[in-house]
Each structure stands twice: as structure tokens, then as C-alpha cells.
Amino acid sequence: MAALQSIPGIVDVQIYPGPDARPGAAADLLVEIPHGATTTADYTSLAAQLESPLPESLIDFFYVNTDAGAPELAEAVCRRFVAAEPARTAAALRCRIPRTFIDVNRRIDASPAEFREGKVTPGIPPWITAPADRALLRERYDAYVAAVRGAIEALAPGGALLLLHTYAPRSVDVEVDLDIVKSLRRAWQPDVAPTWPLRPEVDVIGRGVDGTSHAPAAVALALREALAARGITAADSATYPLHPSTLAWEHATRLPGRALCVEIRRDLLADPFEPFAEMRIGVDQVARLAEPLAAALRAWW
């Protein structure tokens, strides 16, 4: 685990050794948070380095589109996991590159048609136009992706990967273009927002477009049962598929049966959910989801 190092502005690495774990042991559980740049400072510090003319109030898109609550949930899951498995080690990788500028969970060379088929936003948005910005962002993207691939390579024998995401409560259908902020503001008006489809509280993203499931069956079942005991429902790829235009696909197929991709609805974690603000994450809300998630992950062992 000594090879896993944080890179300022790119990735935060946190190791969680169990009380009986061998010092320096490889991680048994790796949690990746690719959209972990959730603070206002994450956005403003990188935006200040860009030359491209950004849409007015683009930070609103950042707030509504970043995985608020995922870093806090990842920490809670890791701590609960090693408390229950004291001889094991967990590690969390939190990306600090806002997906507003480049998405580290995308295959950058994928086509617009592939992104549409996968029902995901593009890897590089249309407002990044300056060549210097593209070079800077690609350099950071490459550094982050290399860190994740290296961490996966360094997993202990039989190790497993949790790909942890959060999403907005509703599927808002707007174009990712230069008018994205205006479109989102209209879409989230109090009288309009309830007309958009409500997403599942939890969605296990494991099925490809052909319907084949890449999710670990025992872990997914354990998660559904543990969540149901707390009154939380979990769907099976209801929101979008596990698609080759994402790096989640690469990781899941690289570790067959040992990778689980999960989306958690943000209003289950935020206190309260506010689409255009940095959200406060509730301790009790995190605990309500971390306990069943950590318990379900133990089904791998």
C-alpha cells in the first residue's frame, strides 16, 4: 500500500487498516470515488487555471452534477468494513478533478453516440475549447486513471472493488451544451422538478446494454436484502447500463465478479438536498447507508 500516494488536486488516497491487519498489507477492499471533487474549492481552484470562456454560473452545473455525499459514505463504509473484518485493509481513492471540466470515469476517445447509448455525459464538455486547457485536463485525467489502475493492480489476492457514486433524485433530460446552466435552472424550478422521473434510492449498475449482468450476484443480493431491512429499495441497472464508454466498465470487466458499481440517491445523504449549492451531508444519513453497504461487501469473503 506504500505505492498508493495522494496527488494534490488529482487524487486523495486514504488507507484504513483493520486493527489486526499486517502493517503495509495490500488492500482487500478498494473504494473508488471518481466524482469525489464535491467542494466549492475543488471547482474554483481548477476553474481559475483555465483559459476557456466558461458559461456564466457554470458552478451551478458543478453542484447539481457532482457526487455529493460519496466521499463521506466511502469513509464510513471503509471504517465499518475493517471493524467487522479486523485482519483486512481497505483503501479509498477520491478524485479531486471536477467532472465539470473532464470526467475521469469516461473513455475519453468514446464517440458522442457511445455516450448517448450509455446515457452518460461526455468525457470533455463543449466549453473546454482552449488547447492549453485540454492538455492540462488530459494530463490530470491520465494521472488519476493511472493511479486507479495501479491501485487495482496492487489489490490483495481475492481483493474487490467498490465503485461508489451518488446521483440527483430525478432524471433531468437536458443537453450538455453552452446553455446547460439555463436549462438546469428551468428544469429544477419547484413546479417543474416533480415532473421528471424519480430515480431509485439505490441502483446497482451492473448490466450491459445486452442485458448481461457484470455485478457480483451474492454481493448484490446481500445489499438488496440489507437495504430492504432498513426500508430502502435497490434497483438493478434501472437508471442506465454499465457501458464501455465508462471506465467503470473497464474496471468491472477487469475484475470479473469482484467489482460492484453503485449509485446512491443524493437526497438520502444530503441534509437537505439543494441542487445549486454545496450540500451538507448528514452523519445519520451516511450511517443508515454505510452499515448495509459494508455488511453486504463482506459477502465477497
The CATH number assigned to the domain holding 86 equals 3.40.630.40
117 pLDDT exceeds 90?
no
Q: Is residue 292 part of a domain?
A: yes
Q: And the C-alpha cell for 252?
A: 468491472
Q: Evaluate whether residue 129 is within a structural domain.
A: yes
Q: Tell me the mean pLDDT in the region 245-256.
A: 94
Closest CA to 258 of 149, 132, 161: 161
pLDDT band per the 50, 70, 90 thresholds, residue 3: low
Characterize the bridge pairing of strands 29-33 and 89-95: parallel
In a domain, 5, yes or no: no
Cβ neighbors of 251 (< 8 A, separation 6 or more) are: 32, 148, 152, 161, 163, 259
> Phi/psi of residue 5, each to 5°?
-130, 140
**Is residue 287 included in any domain, yes or no?**
yes
Element (DSSP H or E) covering residue 160:
strand 160-167
**pLDDT in the model for residue 2:** 53
Largest CA distance in the chain: 56
Fill in the amino acid letter for 132. A
Domain annotation covers residue 6: no
Give the model's pLDDT for residue 121.
Answer: 87
**Angle of the 247-254 helix axis to the 131-153 helix axis, nearest 10:** 20
Q: Provide the domain count of the chain.
A: 1
Contact 102, 144 (CB under 8 A): no
Asked if residue 1 belongs to a domain, the reply is no
Q: Give me the domain span that covers residue 93.
A: 11-300
Alpha-carbon span 121 to 101, nearest angstrom: 11
Q: Does residue 125 surpass a pLDDT of 60?
A: yes
Least confident span in 30-39, 64-73, 103-112, 290-299: 103-112
Q: What is the dihedral of CA 119, 122, 127, 131, to 10 degrees?
A: -170
Tell how strand 11-17 and strand 89-95 pair up: antiparallel
In a domain, 262, yes or no: yes
pLDDT of residue 116: 85
Which pLDDT tens digit goes with each residue over 168-227? 999 999 999 999 999 999 999 999 999 999 999 999 999 999 999 999 999 999 999 999
**Beta strands 160-167 and 259-265, pairing class:** parallel
Q: Does 50 reside within a domain?
A: yes
What's this model's pTM, rounded to 2 decimal places?
0.96
- What mean pLDDT value characterizes the chain? 96
Residue 1's pLDDT band (cuts 50, 70, 90): low
